[in-house]
Amino acid sequence: QSPGLVGFLVAPAAVIDAVLSVVAGIIYDKTTPSLPIISGCTIIGLTFLGANLFTPSIGGLVLIYMLFMVGLSFSYSNIMTYSLSKLPAG
């Protein structure tokens, strides 16, 4: 496999992450912080489970990675924001 092919396979997940991070931030602002964080961590856990239970093709791995990035976009930046908001000022 060539590095260029891998780049093309990973690119859709990067686009999903870029778009959904904004959506997850809006959800974080309008609801409780736990909603996007827990839902994102749940999606990540399900993708880990799916990756371990099945032996997918290249297309299946790309789909699992895209779902992983959905969970990551919902959880990662919101975990950082929530953690930093709990630090004392100064």
Rounded mean pLDDT, 5-26: 90
Confidence of residue 48 (pLDDT cuts 50, 70, 90): very high
Please report, as a single letter, which amino acid is at residue 15.
Answer: V
Is 31's pLDDT higher than 70?
yes
